[in-house]
């Protein structure tokens, strides 16, 4: 049993994770941005850098496409933007999470936890099920 399963597991470990498709990301970038800003105020370039770092190279976003999402969150009042000039730096727009954004993020976290649990069960169940050719179906 172990011997049969081992090569499959080895292949899975070696295989690099695929980059996330745009369709998978759609709608989730907002949550990612809220989560990043929950760690503290930040500005566009830094946010993109953090996204890429925490995404371990699996996210491949056009950097400019993050701004429409930021502006949308700002319009909804989930984040607030303010121009600031730190010493020796260019003026730049810093975004911070608002209480409304914090609540939205908490809601999203719950949704994700539920979804991950369900998906994990479904996918694990799919792997555990023996193939039809091996007589898995009575």
| CA nearest to 74, candidates 92, 55, 97 | 97
In the complex with other proteins, which residue's Cβ is closer, 29 or 97? Answer: 29
| CA nearest to 112, candidates 44, 10, 19, 32 | 32
| CA nearest to 70, candidates 92, 54, 53, 87 | 92
Site string for other proteins, 65-104 (x = CB under 8 A): x-xx--xx--x-------x------xxxx-----------
Please tell me what DSSP assigns to residue 138: -
**What is the total count of residues that contact other proteins (CB under 8 A)?**
18
Contacts for 17 with CB less than 8 Å, ≥ 6 apart: 56, 58
Contact 97/47 with Cβ under 8 angstroms?
no
Q: Is 88 left (phi over 0), alpha (psi -120 to 50) or beta?
A: left
Q: Which of 7, 64, 99, 131 binds other proteins (CB under 8 A)?
A: 64
Establish if 45 lies at the interface with other proteins (CB under 8 A): yes
Tokens of 127: 């792997």
In the complex with other proteins, which residue's Cβ is closer, 3 or 85? Answer: 85
103 vs 83: CA distance, rounded Å = 24
CB of 38 to other proteins, least distance (A): 21
CB of 92 to other proteins, least distance (A): 5
CB of 129 to other proteins, least distance (A): 39
In the complex with other proteins, which residue's Cβ is closer, 33 or 48? Answer: 48
Establish if 48 lies at the interface with other proteins (CB under 8 A): yes
- Chain residues binding other proteins by CB under 8 A are 43-45, 48, 62-65, 67-68, 71-72, 75, 83, 90-93
């Amino acid at each position: 049993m172990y011997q049969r399963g081992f090569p499959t597991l080895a292949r899975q470990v070696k295989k690099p994770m695929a980059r996330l498709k745009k369709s998978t990301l759609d709608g989730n970038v907002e949550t990612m941005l809220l989560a990043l800003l929950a760690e503290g105020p930040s500005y566009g370039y830094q946010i993109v850098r953090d996204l890429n770092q925490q995404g371990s190279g699996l996210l491949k976003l056009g950097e400019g496409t993050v701004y429409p999402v930021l502006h949308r969150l700002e319009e909804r009042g989930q984040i607030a933007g303010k121009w600031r000039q730190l010493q020796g730096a260019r003026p730049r727009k810093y975004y911070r999470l608002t209480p409304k954004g914090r609540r939205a993020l908490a809601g999203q976290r719950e949704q994700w936890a539920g979804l991950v649990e369900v998906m994990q069960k479904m996918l694990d169940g799919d792997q555990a099920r023996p193939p039809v050719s091996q007589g898995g179906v009575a």
